[in-house]
Amino acid sequence: MHDYLLVHGAFSDASVWQTLVPHLESSGARVTAITLPGHGASDTAAAGGVTMDAYVASVVAALDASASSVILVGHSLGGMTISGAAEARPEKVAACVYISAALPESGKTLLDYTGTDTQSKLGAHLEVDAEHGIVTVGDAGKREALCNRSDATATAIALSFTYPQPLQPFATPLVLTPERFGSVARYYVATTDDNAIGYELQKRMYDAQPCAHVFSIDTDHMAMLSATADVAKALRDVRTAVGSAGSR
């Protein structure tokens, strides 16, 4: 059975998966959650210079270190990152799973999508520092846009991330080919009460890039925290489906 490699989104680090990992490990899976460049306490000073290429290279390095192919899971902006990594190393990716995440078409940036998102409440809370190449979001924005269905514990975890987010990855297009990225099975975990990446935008993305299966969860953007058991079940189902396909 395939293992999991978890890739966080904007404004966070690998610890955003902390409540989900035990659920996956209890089913016998090995789980690796990585922190991308520019994220985490030791790396924030250089955040403004971090690129999407650096994100993708970090995931590719983790794929190269794995003895077998993995299920690559991306949250939010992490959907862009895992797509780039699947293009670079399709042979090391058993499936890509997008959790309330960007599922891009070739040549498009995250901003191309978010600019059309009429349901999102995140933009009004973003504080852009163009001079230093970063953007931040305060606690009020996190509560309204990210954690509108999260309980106190889940919200506290989301509020604990205070890292500046590099701007460059938002505006970087990916080149994705049918032969490489297109050869990797895709699954989507849609969050239907999402105030950061609205459900209507999520649907437009997975309709444009069809997935083997779409799981729908009635929760907010931080689904791995607010609906941990549901997300874990979806990921276990993907693992079973990919394992069954691989055994035929």
Residue 42, token pair as written in the block: 């030791």
CA separation for the pair 209, 186 (Å, rounded): 9
CA separation for the pair 14, 33 (Å, rounded): 5
Q: What is the pLDDT of residue 42?
A: 62
Number of H helices, E strands in the chain: 9, 9
Which residues, 6 or more positions from 68, have their beta carbon under 8 angstroms from its beta carbon? 2, 3
Kind and range of the H or E element at 136?
strand 134-137
Residue 28, token pair as written in the block: 């016998």
Confidence (pTM): 0.96
Q: What is the pLDDT of residue 175?
A: 97
CA distances from 183 to 12, 81, 187, 215 (A): 29, 17, 13, 21
Q: What is the pLDDT of residue 40?
A: 75
Query: Would you write out the chain's pLDDT as a tens digit for each of its 248 residues?
Result: 789 999 999 999 999 999 999 999 999 999 999 999 988 766 666 788 899 999 999 999 999 999 999 999 999 999 999 999 999 999 999 999 999 999 999 999 999 999 999 999 999 999 999 999 999 999 999 999 999 999 999 999 999 988 889 999 999 999 999 999 999 999 999 999 999 999 999 999 999 999 999 999 999 999 999 999 999 999 999 999 998 775 43
Q: What is the pLDDT of residue 41?
A: 67
Q: Taking the alpha carbons of 143, 136, 209, 23 in that order, is the dihedral positive or negative?
A: negative
**∠ at Cα 246 (245, 247), nearest 5°?**
90
